[in-house]
Structure 1
C-alpha cells in the first residue's frame, strides 16, 4: 500500500516537474504589426529599391511565408481579426474607425492578450490602436475606458487612431499624455501647436495644446520604439507578450531626418527603412536581455500597400509595393491582403525556410492558445486556426479563408488554389484619375501597368462577369477572370460564402 502511494507521489512530482519545464520553455512573444506594409516592401520578398537588413535577418533565421493574409484589406477590421480571432464581417466591420467611435471589441471576448495573460504572461500593446475607446465614444478629456486594458493588455502606450487623423496625441493606458484640465479638447477647433490636415469628412479636435506639443510626426517611430525597449527591459524573468503596432508605413510618410534620402524610392522607401530600424532595435534589446533565442518574433502587416500619391511616386521609381500581385490596400484583389509574414523562434522554427501554407492574422489567438497549452472557450476565436504546425514546417488544417475588402459587396473566399470575389473590380476606393490621390481601383490598375481581363482603359468592361474567380496557382497576378469557365467552382464558392452571409444576417 505504502509502495503504491509512493509511486503515485513520485509520478505526481514528475508530472509537476514536466509542467514546470514546459512553462520554462514557453517562449516570450513579440508581434510586430506594421501598418500598410506591402508584400513587395521587404528585401526578403524581392524589393531592390530599398534595404531591410534587420527584417531580412529574421527571415534568414526563421520562416518566411508566401501565402499569408490579413483578414481584411482595411486597418481597423484587420486589427479586430488579429485581436479576437474572428472575421470582422461578423461585427459588420469593413471600414476604419475614427475619433468619435467607441471600443469595437466586446470586452467579454477572449483576445490574444487575455489568453496569454491567463497563461501567466505580462502583456502590452505599444503603437497604433485604432479600435476605438469608451462605451459609446471616447472622452478625450477623461478616462478612455474601456480600451486595451479591458481586453487583457496590462499596458498600453501609443497613437489612439491613425497617424493621418486627429487627435494627434499619445495615449498611455486610459488617458491622453500631457493633457491638463485647463486646456481641454474641443471638437471643431484646431490646435495651435499642431498642423491638422483638412477635415477628410471628420471633425477636428483642437485645444489640448500641451498634449499636441508632445506629438511630432517625424519622431513617432522613435518614441514608440523607446517605449517598447523600456517595457521589454522591465520584464525581468517574467514571460511576456508585446504587440508593437507601428505607424510605419502608413501615410503621411514622415521618416525621421536620419532616414530621409536613404532609399532609392523616395519617402516611401525611407519610411520602410525606419521600420527596419525599429525591428532591429527591438531584436537587439531581446539579445541584450538574453531572451532572443526563447522569443517567438513575428513581423507582419495589417494589409497591403496603399496606392496613394506617395505610393504612385515610388512606383514610378521602380518599386512594386505589393510585388506581382494585383490591387492595393482596401481591395479584394491579392495586393490588398496578401502580406509579409516572418516568424523566428530558434530550435522550433527551422532557419532559412519558406512556407506556402495559407495562413492569416486571424489565426494568432488559436496559435497562442496552443502554444501555451490552452483551449479557447466555446464561441471564442471562432475563425482562428492553429498555425503552429506551419511554423514548424508542417501543413495547417485549413479548409478555406474568408477575406474582407473595404466594400461588403466584395466579400471573398479563398479555398485551395481558387479565389472567389463576389463583385466586380477590387472593392476598394476608386481612383479618379491616374496621378491623383486615389487609393486603388480600376484606374490605379491601369496607371500601375497591371493587367486584368475585366478592366479596359481604367474602367470595368460592360460585359465583365458579375463576380470573379481566379486560379492562383496558375495566375497569381489575377490577370484572367475564370468566372464563366468554371461554373461548378463558382457555385461551390458562392455556397460557401452564403454560409457566412446567412450567419451574419441571423444576428441582425
Structure 2
C-alpha cells in the first residue's frame, strides 16, 4: 500500500510538473499571425460598418472579439501596388508602381528586399501565402508559363505558395503551387494568343491572351475558387500548428467576376456582388473555427483587411441599385484618390492582448504592418527594411492619445493624383478622383464625375456629372468636419496645400 501511495504521489508530481512546464512553454511561444487580405472589399461592405443588404456575422463577430480601425487605409487604391506596400512596408510610388499587373509582367518585388515573410523567417516562423498573388513571376517579360515560375513567392521568404497567380478576372485561369502550374504537362503547354478553355462569366476578361494547358485550366473551377483556397489555408494551418506560423491568406473574393459557390447564390439582397461577400464571410468563419478547434485562437493575431476600396463595376452597379453602398458614404471607388478608393476595413483579434469590442480612429495604413510585425518578434529593421512603415502596435494593444502617424501617402491609379494626408487634412494635387471615368452606366469602367448622377454623390467641384470649369486645380479636404469630401477647401488654404505638397516631395526623396 505504501509503495502504491508513493507511486501515485510520484505520478501526480510528474503530471503537475509536466503541466507547469507545458504552460510555461505555451506562455513563451511566439504568436501565430494570420492576415486575411480580401480583394476589393469596401469600407461599407460589412455589417459592422453599415451594410444592411448583405450579412457578415463572422466578420462582425471578429470585430466584437477584437479591435476595429475606422481610419485605416491601403497605401494604394489599386490591387498590385497595395499588395506591394503590405508585403514590403515600402510605398509603391517609389517603384513607380501605380497600376495592376497582368500575366506577362515579371516579379515586382526585388528578391533581396525583406518582405513580411522573410521578416518572420528571422524568428523561425513557418510562412505561407495562399490565394491571389498578383505581383508577377520570373525575371523576364513576357512570363514563360511553361517553365518554373521563379523568382516568385518562395524567393521572397515564403515556405509555401498555392493560389491564383494573377487574379480571378484575367488569365491564366489556373492554380500555381510553389513554382509550378498545377496540372501542367509538357505535351500540352501554354500558348500565347490562343483562347483559353475556361468558363465565361461577366467581367471575366482577356480569355484569348493565353490558351493551351487544357488540363491545368480544367483544374480551375470559378465557383469553387473560394472553397479551394479556404481548404488549402485550413490544411496548411493544421500541418504547421506545432510551430509559430505566418499565413498571408489573400482571397479572390470579392473581385469580379462574382462567382460564389452554389450555396451562396441568391442569399443576399445585393445580387452576385453581395452573394460573394457572403461566401467571404463564410471563409472567415472557417478560419476562425479551425483556430478554435486546433486550440490556436488564444495565441494567434488574426487580421482581416482589404487591398483597396470597393469598385463600381457592373456587379457593383447592380448592388448600388439595390441599396448597397460598397464604400459606405465615402466618396469614390477603387482606383480613386478619394476616400472610397482606399479607406478599408481593418479588424484585429489577439485574445488577452487586444481589448474585445474596441475601436480606434488612428490614421494608419497597410504599409504599417511590416514595422508592427517586426515589433511583435522584436526585430529591429534597418533603414532599407520597411522604410515607410510605422509601428502601430501601441494602437493595437492600447489607446494612445497622440497620433501614431503624422503623415500618410496614398496613391491612385493616376500618378498625377499621388496624395498626402496630414492629420485631418487630405490633399489631392489634381482634379477628380484619378480612377475610372467612363460615363456610361453598365460599363465596367464606370466611375469618376460621370457616375455622380447615378451614385448621388456630392462634391463642390462637380455638377451634372462634369468637373466645373472654375473648379480648383487641386483638392483639399478637412476630413474631421467633412469626412465625405463634399467641399473642396483648396482655394481657401493654398498655403497649407503648398506645405503638404512639400512634405510629400520630402517623403518621396528620402
Tell whether the structures are fold-level matches, with TM greater than 0.5: yes
- How far does the alpha carbon of each residue in 1:249-269 deviate from its partner, in whole angstroms, 9 at most, with x for none? 000001111001111111111
Q: Show CA shifts across 1:53-111 (max 9, x none).
A: 11110100000110000000000000000010000000000000000000000010111
CA distance in structure 1 between the partners assigned to 2:48 and 2:336 by the alignment: 24
Q: CA deviation at 1:378?
A: 2.6
Selected match of 2:97 from 51, 70, 93: 93
* Aligned residues of 1:194 and 1:213 also touching (Cα < 8 A): no
Deviation for aligned residue 1:491: 1.6
Instruction: Give the deviation of 1:489 after TM superposition.
Output: 1.2
Q: Say whether the 8 Å CA contact 2:78–2:98 is kept in structure 1.
A: yes
Residue 64 (structure 1) aligned to one of 61, 68, 73? 68
Matches within 5 A, 1:128-277: 128-137=132-141, 138-195=143-200, 204-277=209-282
Would the aligned equivalents of 1:423 and 1:466 in 2 still touch at CA under 8 Å?
Answer: yes
Instruction: Pick the aligned partner of 1:102 from 101, 106, 109.
Output: 106
Q: Distance in 1 between matches of 2:383 and 2:405?
A: 19
Contact 2:128/2:161 (<8 A) preserved: yes
Matched, 1:417 2:424: yes
1:49 lines up with 2:53 in the alignment: yes
**C-alpha distance in 2, partners of 1:204/1:81?**
28
CA RMSD in angstroms, aligned pairs only: 1.7
Aligned to 2:122: 118
The CA distance in 1 between the partners of 2:292 and 2:202, in whole Å, is 40
Task: State the 1:169 CA deviation.
Answer: 0.3
The change in CA–CA distance for 1:297 and 1:326 in structure 2 (over 3 A counts) is same
The aligned residue for residue 493 of structure 2 is 486
2:342 to 337, 345, 352: 337
Write the distance in 2 (CA, Å) between the matches of 1:431 and 1:115. Answer: 42
Q: Is the 8 A contact 2:439 2:446 kept in 1?
A: no
C-alpha displacement of 1:202: 8.6
CA distance in 1, matches of 2:203, 2:394: 47
Of 107, 127, 132, the match for 2:131: 127
Q: Deviations over 1:226-274 (max 9, x none)?
A: 0001000001320001011000000000111100111111111100000
Kept in 2, the 8 Å contact 1:83–1:365? The answer is yes
**Alpha-carbon shift at residue 197 of structure 1 (Å):** 7.9
Deviations 1:139-194 (A, max 9, x none): 21110000000001000000000100011000000000000110000000113354
Please state how far the C-alpha of 1:437 moved relative to its aligned partner: 2.5
Per-residue deviation, residues 280-336 of structure 1 (Å, max 9, x unmatched): 111111111101111000000000000011101111111110001000000000000
CA distance in 2: counterparts of 1:195 and 1:343, whole angstroms: 37
Partner of 1:440: 447
**Cα separation, 1, equivalents of 2:241 and 2:78:** 36
Is 1:318 the equivalent of 2:308?
no
- Taking the aligned partners of 2:366 and 2:257, their CA distance within structure 1 comes to 25
> What is the alpha-carbon distance in structure 1 between the residues aligned to residue 373 and residue 422 of structure 2?
24
How many Å apart are 1:498 and its aligned residue?
2.0
Distance 1:327 1:385 in 2: 26
CA distance in 1, matches of 2:470, 2:498: 20
Gaps of at least 5 residues in structure 2 are 1-20
CA distance in 2: counterparts of 1:127 and 1:72, whole angstroms: 20
Q: Which moved more, 1:75-84 or 1:393-402?
A: 393-402
The Cα of 1:434 is off from its aligned counterpart by 3.0
Aligned-pair distance for 1:494?
1.3
CA distance in 1, matches of 2:446, 2:166: 19
Structure 1 unaligned residues grouped into runs of 5+:
1-16, 504-508
Partner Cα distance (2:217, 2:61) in 1: 37
Q: Which of the numbers 388, 399, 407 marks the counterpart of 1:400?
A: 407
Give the Cα–Cα distance (whole angstroms) in 2 for the partners of residues 337 and 231 of structure 1. Answer: 30
CA gap 1:200/1:158 in 2 versus in 1, 3 angstroms: closer
Q: Tell me the TM-score normalized by structure 2.
A: 0.92
Q: Residue in 2 aligned with 1:13?
A: none
1:37 aligns with 41
What pairs with 1:268-417 in structure 2 (closer than 5 Å)?
A: 268-395=273-400, 396-417=403-424
For the 8 Å contact 1:431–1:442, the answer to whether it is kept is no
Question: d(CA) in 2 for partners of 1:200 and 1:277?
Answer: 27
Q: 1:65 to 1:196 in 2, by over 3 A?
A: closer
Distance in structure 2 (CA, Å) of the matches to 1:493 and 1:251: 36
Cα distance, 1:200 vs structure 2: 5.8
Correspondence 1:459 to 2:463 = no
Is 1:75 the counterpart of 2:79? The answer is: yes
- 1:164 and 1:366, CA in 2 relative to 1: closer, same or farther beyond 3 A? same
1:24 pairs with 17, 22, 28, which one? 28
Rounded Cα–Cα distance in structure 2 between residues aligned with 1:375 and 1:364:
14
What is the CA-CA distance between 1:22 and the residue it aligns to?
9.4
What is the Cα deviation at residue 438 of structure 1?
A: 2.5
Per the alignment, do residues 131 and 39 of structure 1 end up closer, same or farther by CA in structure 2, a change over 3 Å counting?
Answer: same
